[in-house]
């Protein structure tokens, strides 16, 4: 069911369409108010009468509970997740949200199966992170608190406000149909994430990782915005789709119908791609990623590797649908360029991961490699559109669904691996693989979970990671066979076939460094200072089990998720 809504008008369905976002915003406001409620009174001037204002003063016992912000965040995210899923159950609702009406209408947001799927993925990831952080920032009350615990109690609210703000930005990213709107959402999310990366400011690593990530991020997003302004000069609007009522020509159509290649749109698009490439940490914009992952606390590293990456990929998908149109003369050149970047990215990520001893950095490099795999899929998707095929049928739909599926299941095993590191990190910062040595003796269950996450990252059946890589490679091969009329001869294959081969070979290389973690955990003796059993942090353990269940179940039976991903891919 398709409904057109003018934003923030009476009688419109704005509140209904944006229910999860409104919930998140309410959550932020509640987070600002509720932990500050206290017994403060205000004296009416010239009298002795004191009116209770309830804001400030000595806080009540319930509102000063250090675990309260975490509970509020979990409740908010759960509600938003429920609303996002419910709006697509049954026949599924689609809303077109416009600013202005009639001849001045600009399509700003589109709520559909795609945006709701990505929102659900983001909310689930943030939910796991918020639960895990209860143990990472130990929230206690009482008189005998150490200085660090007292600081942490104060900072719980800050942390969860930032997390919810980033969730709002991510929701905007999934829905935006105007490129500037997209960038605003990206900025809301990234500004919050910059602070989250630098959140451990007492440790030298945290401050350094945050500063490096911020500098690279600020410059790349500024360059991306400059690219947007060039596109605006060129086209006069930043709408992705053309509007038949107002006669506005969207970027996609303008790109497809332009004569030759103008310098202005070309430069603009290159700069916009720089902004997205930083988010997905593609080579050559990957330099800050390992520092940021290892400087930030492990759950935030997981956020960077899953959610932040997915945002960049949504941007790439949107822009790709624009430049890959078959009418554009240059689309093959673009796809070749993207293919080379994906090849370099996955190979570089794997080689660097082979030479890295710090588990957090290893996971960072492996997420660079995973970005390369997904870029290979995107290249094949672009080539499919460029051949003049309908984007929502055949190989195009398959590949796009595979990318969405991969982004979704990454939350299960990539975030799971980071959560295991978060649990180990409670005994002190992880700096080398020695810190994981003998984990199987210290805690067999957690070590087994970590091993399963590693196998899933490597793509071993029957785990979720295998399913996603299988779909991705299958999609690319299906695309490369598009020209082969009958029988398979090497000369008939589209060049994207070599990308499928590269993904396959790179996965084979990656098994080595993933298994090395397993060897260290099961066969090496634990170091002197890490002999005791792991901390009994039930919240983190619960999230690890949740991730483990997801990895196993999706690996065994992925039909429902694949079906959902295909529905989402069809609406793009």
Contacts to another protein by CB under 8 A: 106, 180, 184, 187, 191, 194-195, 198, 201, 204-205, 207-212, 214-215, 218-219, 222-223, 225-226, 228-230, 232-233, 236-238, 290-291, 294-295, 355-358, 361
Q: How far is the CB of 74 from another protein (least distance, A)?
A: 26
Using an 8 Å Cβ cutoff, are 547 and 419 in contact? yes
Q: Which is nearer to another protein, 26 or 219 (CB)?
A: 219
CB of 286 to another protein, least distance (A): 14
Query: Is the bond leading into 35 cis (omega within 30 degrees of zero)?
Result: no
- Within 10 angstroms of residue 470's Cβ, the number of other Cβ atoms is 14
Least distance to another protein, CB of residue 31, Å = 19
The least distance separating another protein from the CB of residue 490, rounded to whole angstroms, comes to: 40
Task: Choose among 173, 123, 92: nearest CA to 20.
Answer: 123
Q: How near is the Cβ of 96 to another protein at its closest, in Å?
A: 18
Q: What does 366-387 look like in DSSP terms, one character per residue?
A: HHHHHHHHHHHHHHHHHHHHHT
Q: Name the residue among 518, 279, 553, 288 with its Cα closest to residue 417.
A: 518
Separation of alpha carbons 63 and 65, rounded Å:
5
Tokens in use for 85? 């899923």
State both tokens at 15. Answer: 């509140």
Q: Is the dihedral of CA 31, 36, 39, 45 positive or negative?
A: negative
Cβ proximity to another protein, 13 vs 429, nearer residue: 429
CB 232 to another protein: min, Å:
5
Closer CB to another protein, 130 or 220, in the complex: 220
Q: Which two tokens stand for residue 408?
A: 């979704």
**Dihedral of CA 440/444/447/452: which sign?**
positive
Shortest Å distance, C-beta 205 to another protein: 6
Residue that the structure tokens 């509020």 belong to: 72
Taking the least distance from each CB to another protein, the nearer of 210 and 459 is 210
Pairing relationship of beta strands 94-99 and 2-6 according to DSSP bridges = parallel
Which residue lies nearer to another protein by CB, 364 or 424?
364
Euclidean distance between CA atoms 267 and 423, whole angstroms: 46
Looking at beta carbons only, is 51 or 264 nearer to another protein? 264
Cβ distance to another protein smaller for residue 432 or 448? 432
Cα distance between residue 420 and residue 426, in whole Å? 10
| Residue with smaller CB distance to another protein, 141 or 154 | 154
Q: How far is the CB of 78 from another protein (least distance, A)?
A: 28
Q: Listing from the earlier edge strand, what are the strands of the sheet with 2-6?
A: 2-6, 94-99, 106-111
User: Mapped to the 3 state alphabet, what secondary structure does 302-351 carry?
Assistant: HHHHHHHHHHHHHHHHHHHHHHCCCCCCCHHHHHHHHHHHHHHHHHHHHH
Nearer to another protein, 53 or 215 (CB): 215
Minimum CB separation of residue 550 from another protein in Å reads 31
């Amino acid at each position: 069911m398709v409904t057109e809504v003018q934003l923030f008008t009476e009688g419109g369905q704005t509140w209904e369409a944006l229910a999860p976002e409104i919930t998140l915003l309410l959550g932020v406001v509640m987070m600002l108010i509720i932990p500050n409620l206290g017994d403060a009174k205000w004296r009416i001037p010239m009298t002795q009468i004191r009116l209770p204002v309830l804001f400030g003063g000595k806080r009540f016992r319930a509102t000063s509970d250090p675990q309260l912000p975490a509970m509020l965040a979990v409740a908010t995210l759960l509600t938003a997740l429920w609303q996002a899923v419910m709006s697509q159950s049954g026949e599924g609702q689609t809303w077109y949200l416009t600013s202005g009406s009639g001849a001045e209408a600009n399509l700003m947001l589109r709520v559909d199966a795609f945006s709701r799927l990505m929102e659900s993925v983001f909310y689930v990831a943030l939910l796991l992170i918020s639960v895990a952080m209860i143990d990472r920032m130990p929230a206690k009350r009482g008189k005998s608190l150490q200085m660090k615990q007292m600081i942490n109690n104060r900072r719980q609210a800050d942390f969860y406000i930032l997390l919810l703000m980033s969730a709002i930005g991510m929701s905007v990213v999934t829905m935006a149909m105007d490129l500037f709107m997209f960038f605003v959402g990206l900025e809301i999310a990234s500004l919050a994430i910059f602070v989250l990366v630098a959140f451990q400011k007492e440790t030298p690593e945290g401050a350094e990782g945050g500063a490096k990530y911020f500098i690279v991020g600020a410059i790349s997003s500024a360059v991306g915005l400059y690219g947007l302004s060039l596109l605006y000069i060129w086209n006069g609007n930043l709408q992705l789709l053309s509007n038949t009522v107002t006669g506005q020509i969207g970027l996609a159509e303008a790109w497809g119908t332009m004569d030759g290649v103008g310098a202005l749109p070309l430069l603009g698009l290159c700069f916009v791609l720089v902004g997205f490439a930083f988010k997905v940490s593609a080579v050559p914009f990957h330099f800050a990623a390992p520092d940021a992952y290892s400087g930030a606390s492990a759950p935030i590293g997981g956020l960077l590797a899953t959610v932040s990456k997915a945002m960049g990929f949504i941007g790439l998908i949107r822009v790709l649908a624009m430049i890959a149109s078959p009418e554009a003369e240059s689309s093959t050149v673009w796809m070749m360029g993207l293919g080379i970047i994906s090849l370099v990215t996955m190979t570089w990520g794997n080689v660097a991961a082979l030479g890295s001893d710090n588990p957090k950095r290893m996971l960072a490099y492996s997420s660079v490699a995973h970005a390369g795999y997904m870029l290979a899929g995107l290249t094949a998707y672009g080539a499919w559109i460029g051949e003049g095929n309908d984007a929502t049928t055949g190989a195009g739909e398959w590949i796009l669904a595979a990318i969405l599926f991969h982004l979704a299941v990454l939350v299960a095993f990539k975030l799971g691996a980071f959560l295991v590191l978060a649990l180990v990190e409670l005994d002190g910062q992880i700096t080398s693989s020695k810190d994981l040595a003998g984990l199987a003796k210290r805690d067999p269950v957690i070590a087994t979970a970590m091993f399963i996450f590693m196998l899933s990252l490597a793509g071993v059946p029957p785990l979720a990671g295998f399913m996603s890589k299988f779909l991705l490679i299958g999609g690319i091969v299906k695309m490369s066979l598009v020209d082969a009329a009958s029988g398979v001869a090497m000369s008939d294959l589209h060049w994207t076939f070599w990308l499928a081969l590269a993904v396959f070979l790179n996965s084979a290389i990656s098994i080595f460094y993933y298994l090395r973690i397993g060897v260290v955990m099961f066969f090496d003796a634990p170091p002197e200072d890490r002999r005791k059993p792991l901390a009994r942090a039930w919240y983190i353990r619960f999230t690890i089990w949740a991730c483990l269940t997801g990895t196993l179940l999706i690996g065994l039976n992925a039909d429902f998720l694949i079906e959902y991903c295909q529905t989402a891919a069809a609406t793009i």
